[in-house]
Amino acid sequence: MTSRNAGALRDTAFDAAEIDRRLAAIWSTTPGVWGALATVDHKVIGRRYITTAFVFLALGGLLSLLMRLQLAQPEARFIGPDRYNQLFTMHGTNMMFLFAVPVMQAMAVYLVPLMVGTRNIAFPRLNAFSYWMYLAGGLLLWIAFVLDTGPDVGWFAYVPLSGPQYAAGKRADIWAQMITFTEVSALAVAVEIVVTVFKHRAPGMSLDRIPLFVWSMLVTSFVVILAMPAIMVASTALILDRLVETHFFNPAEGGDVLLWQHLFWFFGHPEVYIIFLPAVGMVSTIVATFTRRPVFGYLAMVMALIATGILAFGLWVHHMFVAGLPRLGESFFTASSMAIAVPAGLQIFCWLATIWAGRPIFTTPFLFAIGFIVTFVIGGLTGVMVASVPFDTQVHDTYFVVAHFHYVLVGGAVFPLLGALYYWFPKLTGRLMSETRGRWVFGLIFVGFNLTFFPMHILGLQGMPRRIYTYQPEMPWSGLNMFISLSAVILAGGFLLFFIDVIRSARTGAVASSNPWEASTLEWATSSPPPPYNFARLPVVGGLDPLSDRRDVLPVAAGLRVDRRELLVSSIVEATPEAREASSGDSIWPLLAAIATTATLIWSIFTPWAVVWGSIPIAIALIGWFWPKGVPEDES
Amino acid sequence: MTERVFSIAKSVLAVAVLLSLASAGGVLGYLRQPRELRFEPPVAADLDWFRLMSNGIGGTPPESYFALGKPYEADAYNLSQGKRLYAWFGCGTCHGDGRGGVGPSFLDGWWLYGPEMVSIVASIRDGRPHGMPAFRDRLTIEQIWQLAGYVQTIGSYSPKVAAPSRNDDKQTRPAENRGPAIILFDEGPVGVHPDQGPSP
Ligand code: HEM
Ligand SMILES: [Cu+2]
């Protein structure tokens, strides 16, 4: 310990009230506009992230209702072909890139630091930057759509359709550049999560004591880090092809059209697990809490998560079965696609065993967990079906596939997410959501969902292609389509009630105690919502369930300074404390850097020179961001 | 309470900043976007009624063309349709990739009948005396305008934002969005077409 350090103020010198006062002074976000723009508090940013993602969910939902309105009757004249192309592309792109992935990461931004018992996420400024980039990407896409420049090439934007020859104007460029925005922000969050989980866990939280949700986010983050670069490379190559005549995807000049499909799906399939794995973690958490026992087979669950994360990279070709690949390749990817059902099945059985052995309490989050298990199993079954080449050849690009992926996406991710929101809402806002309304929400959404999407399997088998803006009355599809559209109204009603419940509960819900569900993970050890510094004294963990093991006393670590933002760095495996480290304070530079990057990225759709000139403001912003403060960064 | 108001004001400001940036991008994109797949028949028919000078060079487009917002010069979709028609109707057999052949070049800065849209439309619709066939029976007037917009784009010295990019073919010259006329411009010892006078 250095001598300069010896004079520093430690929490050992004060009583509890004084510690709170001093920590609050040092960690709080300053009120006012400036404070809001400069904050690096993971809870503020996490809440913002979650709210924004749900706004995008609502917007994407509106688009799907427009599509269902158009498809309700044959030869409807409500929406023309050009607009319809934009609608399904916007819906898919918005749901995947602006809702599903970000919302899962957003939950992690809020929860992971609390669950591992630290005071802020690693790289807090990067976190702020990531949110601004995400917001800018979302606005870019939506504003373009409002101006009739929305992408119209499908959410996977296959070349040559999206290439320079067939996608006129800037629509496809907007899609491709939106990818850059969201992937930059997703990669940033992934890195933060990995470092937070590896280096900032509370003392004693060894690898085998990490909560399952944190495990799932850790695996997800690695998948993000390995998968996202593929799509960034692809979308950049697409922009280059379109703007400066490179030939990545031009077969006549030695490029390759299939290259796009490979790059896209090398990201695109893991993407499904980027959405699904966090959901798995949420379900595990909910199931454990409401059955009043730890999840059966912790080790098996963790292994299944990791196995899924690895296998996720060995399946991508099953999206390309009709692209004319060698037979051996197709067989291999059929086998691997079926193999991934093994870890998924394992997890299902672990949850069932947990419920079986426990004393389930049927609260709204738990209902959503059950709804998830049922729906996801159906989606998984049709997944195994389309994994077989002959079957897929029949139903490829039909409504069967639309039904399949909505079962896994909505059933596998949205249900757990809604459950998670009911579950963690008290920690987010300090108030509980309404249990009565919650049951209605679950009922409407579960029933509405199945009525909407189950018949799509049949439509697909009857040959109705996806992405068509209308169909002839002679086709045997009208009845089911009308039924689906009416059911979608029920589904929409469920979501509407959900949003009403969120808004009303946030204002007038019952005030929550610090641990209303009597759960056992660390986020419930602090008040609801937590103070800016999360924990007045960092907890020390002695088991997998820190709160239930010793309900009355939670041991804490002492010796941290109270005159600067400080947190603990601990070892990867055992989480023994290694060092005390400063955590960076509020800063406006991440926002400025995001604005400079946004301007450059949008400009670069129009001219390659944007990259040259735009790098100057970006460099200035980064210099401001990293300008040395003259404070020693960390001391051990 | 004031805190609430503050936090709302804060987020509004943040959103406003990003909104203005993103909308700047959106507006730029919109400039080349509105996609009218088919005009009402009377509107389309009106496109035939432009006035031409008696020598067949220059003139004024129909009023309705301005009312539509000059859709054939600056709209990406129409320009790319024009590019497609250029290939489908074999313009390349005589005009090459725009650099000419039997017919004149479009990117040397020389226009036998002037660079205005109406002249180009007239050339395509009615043909020209020294070997340019008339296409009025093979193309609709909308398609002719689309072609004309594209032909004008090939030779433009300041590439239009909406100009099409390369095709998925062998590359013979820079694509229209990169201003091939500027890149390929070559002020030789004599003009490219000495028969057409000393300067464009
Ligand atoms: C909540 C109610 C929802 C409804 C009623 C709905 C409905 C639809 C419809 C009608 C289509 C277009 C089918 C076509 O014309 O080909 C579609 C496509 C799609 N949906 Fe949804 N959807 C919903 C939620 C979601 C969610 C939550 C996600 C993702 C997390 C999602 C992801 C997609 C994707 C990726 C596509 C494909 C877009 C494309 O073809 O490019 N949807 N959905
Ligand atoms: Cu897949």
Complex ipTM:
0.82
A46 contact partners, CB below 8 Å, separation of at least 6: A106, A107, A109, A110, A111
d(CA A309, CA A417): 19
Nearest chain B residue to A608 by CA distance is B178
From the CA of A151, the nearest ligand is 1
Beta strands A577-582 and A566-570 are antiparallel
Q: What is the CA radius of gyration of chain A?
A: 25
Q: Per the CB < 8 Å rule, is A164 touching B164?
A: yes
Residue A478: strand, helix, or coil: helix
d(CA B90, CA B138): 12
Q: Is B163 on the interface with A (CB under 8 A)?
A: no
d(CA A125, CA A132): 11
Q: Per the CB < 8 Å rule, is A168 touching B166?
A: no
- Cα A411 to the center of its chain, rounded Å: 15
| Of B14, B23, B167, Cβ closest to residue A165 | B167
CATH assignment of A43-586, given 1.20.210.10, 2.40.50.100, 2.60.120.10, 3.20.20.10? 1.20.210.10
Q: Is B53 exposed, middle or buried (0-12, 13-18, 19+ CB in 10 A)?
A: middle
Sorted by where each begins, the domain ranges of chain A are 43-586, 587-636
Pocket test for ligand 1, best of A91, A94, A415 (most atoms within 8 A of CB): A91
SS (H, E, C) A32-71: CHHHHHHCCCHHHHHHHHHHHHHHHHHHHHHHHHHHHHHH
Cis peptide preceding A539, ω within 30 of 0: no
Q: What are phi and psi of B163, to 5 degrees?
A: -60, 140
d(CA B22, CA A595): 10
Q: What is the CA radius of gyration of chain B?
A: 21
pTM of the model: 0.91
pLDDT at A171: 93
Q: Per the CB < 8 Å rule, is B29 touching A147?
A: yes
pLDDT per residue rounded down to tens, chain B (200 residues): 455 555 555 555 666 666 666 556 555 554 544 577 777 888 888 888 888 888 878 888 888 888 888 889 888 999 999 999 999 999 999 999 888 889 999 988 788 888 889 999 999 999 998 899 999 999 999 999 999 999 999 888 888 888 999 999 998 888 998 888 888 776 555 444 545 544 43
Give, in order, the Cα–Cα distances in Å from A345 to each of A220, A280, A339, A374, B157: 19, 12, 10, 12, 63
A553 dihedral zone (left: phi>0; alpha: psi -120 to 50; beta): beta
Residue type, A253: E
* Residue spans of chain A under pLDDT 50: 1-6, 634, 636
* Residue B70: both structure tokens together: 């000059």
CA neighbor of A376 nearest in space, from A328, A411, A325 = A411
- Residues within a 6 A CB radius of ligand 1: A 61, 64, 67-68, 88-89, 91-92, 95-96, 100, 154-155, 402, 406, 409-410, 414, 452, 466-467, 488, 491
**Are A441 and A497 in contact, with CB atoms under 8 Å apart?**
yes
